[in-house]
Structure 1
C-alpha cells in the first residue's frame, strides 16, 4: 500500500491536534482538502482512523496503531530532505557534538570557527548537554563526540571511548559580590584562600546526576580540607550554578572561565589547594571514526 507524503502530514496533524480545524490551520490548508486526504487514507487502509463527534475528534483503535507505526516516518523524511539540501550546498558531512556550559569559552568558540573555515563541507550541530547526557548520546549513537568536562576516573569511564585533553584552567571559588572572603570583605588584597575557610558556607553545586566527575571532585577537595560541603541547591548546568551564586544562594567551586558569564555580579576567589583541572573531549573509539571526526580531532590536537 502506498501513501502520499501529504496524506501522512494530514494524518499526523489531525492525530496530534485532535481537531480538523486546528490541523488545517497548522498545515496552512483549507479544511475540505484536509478531510479529503484523510478520507482517501482511510479508504486505502480499509478502516476509519478518527471518530468524529460533537465532543471533538479522537483516534480509533486503527488510528492509534497507524500513528504508532508511522511515528518516525515524517521526521526521517525531513532529515532526508535536509541531507539532500546540505549536499546540494556542498555540505557532505555532519558532526553532532555536545558541550557543557562550564567549558563554553572564547577558545571553544574559536575552535568551532576555525574548523568551519577549514572544512565548510561539514555541518557542525552543537548541543548544550550535561556530561551524563552526552555519554548516553555517544553510547546510543545520537552524538558523535562531546566536550564532557573533566576526565572520569578509569573505573567510571564508559567502555569504548577515547578522551582527548584540550584545555587546562584553575578551579576557583565563586562568591556573591561583597562576600567576606571576596575583595569586598576581609580578603581585600585578593590573596588565595584556603578551602577550609569555606567549611561553614552554604554551597550551590552542579548535580551529581548531571556531572558525577565534577561532583566527586568537590567532595574530595572539601574532605581533604576537613569538612563535608553543605549543598543547599543544585542544578544540572554550571552556568545556572553561577547565577545562583550571584543571587546570594551560596558559594561554588567552578572553572575560572565561567566568570565571564556574570561579569561583576560574582567575585572570583583563588584557592590555595585547588587543582588545575583538565577538560577533555570524548568520542567513541574504533576504526569507524568518520573523516569529519578525524579532521576535528586533528584540529584539537594542534591547539
Structure 2
C-alpha cells in the first residue's frame, strides 16, 4: 500500500489555512493543477472528500479535519527532525562516543569536557570504561567515535592513532616504608606489589622496566582500577607503578609518590576512524588536543 506523501499533507494544510487553492499554489510555488492533483491523490488514498467549497471559501470536511490534525503533527515532527539533524551537521549538537581507561576518565577527560561544555554545550559525550584494545575494536565496529589508548598500538585498516600525552610513571608507596628519593627496580621488587594485569599496556611497560634490571617480580594483586589500587597502597597493602595523570594532588597522606630510576613513561594516543569525522567529533578532538603534551 502506497504511503501518504508529506508534500501532499503540507498542501492540504496550506489550503485549509488559506481557504483557497489559488493562494496555496502561490505560497507553495506550485502550479494550480499540481495543487488540485495533490488533494485528489489524498482523497483517493483516504476514500472520502477532504475539502468542500462554499461561497468561494475552501473548508475541510469532518474527515478532512481529522486528517489535518494528524498532518500538522507529522509535519511539525518532520520539521523538528530536520532541524535536529541540521544542528548536528553544523556541530551545534551531537553525540560522541568515547572509550578510555578509568585513569584517563578520572583525571584527564574532565578538563577537556569542561572546555567543551563552555564552547559547545549542545554536544553530548558518552564515555565508556574500556581497555585500549576494546576501544580500537569499538572504533572498527562503529560503536565508538574516539578512543584514548595506550601506545604503542597497531591501528589497523581504517583507523589512525596520533600521539597525545607522555606522562611520567611514578612509584606510589606507603609512606611508612620510607622509600628512597628515586625508586629503582631492585628496591621495588623486594616489596609487595599491586599492579595492572597483563591485558594492559601499562603492565607490559612496567614488566619491561623490571626485566631490564633482570627482575621478574610477581604482583600480590592485579587490578585495572587505579583509584582502587591507590586505596590499597594507602592501607599499606603494597606499592604500585602508575602514571601521573593531570595535576592531581596526593589523594592520601599515607601514600608518597617517587620518581623512578631509570625513568619510565606512559604514552597515550587518540584513536579515531580515518574517514571524515562529524563536526561534533571534531570539536571533541579539539578539546582533547588542548591537553596534548
What's the TM-score, normalizing by structure 1? 0.60
Structure 1 match to 2:130: 129
**How far apart are 1:281 and its partner, in Å?**
1.8
SS in 1 for 2:193: strand
Q: Give distance in 2, aligned partners of 1:107 and 1:215.
A: 20
1:1-303 map, 5 Å:
87=84, 92-104=93-105, 107-148=108-149, 150-153=150-153, 156-181=154-179, 187=180, 191-209=181-199, 211=200, 213-257=201-245, 260=249, 262-287=251-276, 289-303=277-291
Q: Give distance in 1, aligned partners of 2:96 and 2:152.
A: 23
Aligned CA distance change for structure 1 residues 232 and 302 (closer, same or farther; 3 Å):
closer
Q: Give distance in 1, aligned partners of 2:272 and 2:113.
A: 16
SS in 2 for 1:257: coil
Larger radius of gyration: 2
Aligned CA distance change for structure 1 residues 104 and 179 (closer, same or farther; 3 Å):
farther
Deviation track 1:20-63 (CA, whole Å, cap 9, x = no partner) reads xxxxxxxxxxxxxxxxxxxxxxxxxxxxxxxxxxxxxxxxxxxx
Q: Give distance in 2, aligned partners of 1:254 and 1:192.
A: 15
Does structure 1 conserve the Cα–Cα contact (< 8 Å) formed by 2:159 and 2:272?
yes
Q: Give distance in 1, aligned partners of 2:265 and 2:97.
A: 28
Does structure 2 conserve the Cα–Cα contact (< 8 Å) formed by 1:239 and 1:261?
no
**How far apart are 1:220 and its partner, in Å?**
0.4
Q: Give distance in 1, aligned partners of 2:152 and 2:240.
A: 21
SS in 2 for 1:264: coil
Q: Give distance in 2, aligned partners of 1:192 and 1:233.
A: 23
**How far apart are 1:139 and its partner, in Å?**
2.4
SS in 2 for 1:196: helix
Q: Give distance in 2, aligned partners of 1:159 and 1:245.
A: 41
Does structure 2 conserve the Cα–Cα contact (< 8 Å) formed by 1:196 and 1:226?
no
Q: Give distance in 2, aligned partners of 1:161 and 1:221.
A: 29
Gaps in structure 2 of 5+ consecutive residues: 1-79
Aligned residues between the structures: 205
**How far apart are 1:117 and its partner, in Å?**
1.9
SS in 1 for 2:251: helix
Aligned CA distance change for structure 1 residues 93 and 104 (closer, same or farther; 3 Å):
closer
Does structure 1 conserve the Cα–Cα contact (< 8 Å) formed by 2:169 and 2:265?
yes
Q: Give distance in 1, aligned partners of 2:187 and 2:156.
A: 36
Gaps in structure 1 of 5+ consecutive residues: 1-82, 182-186
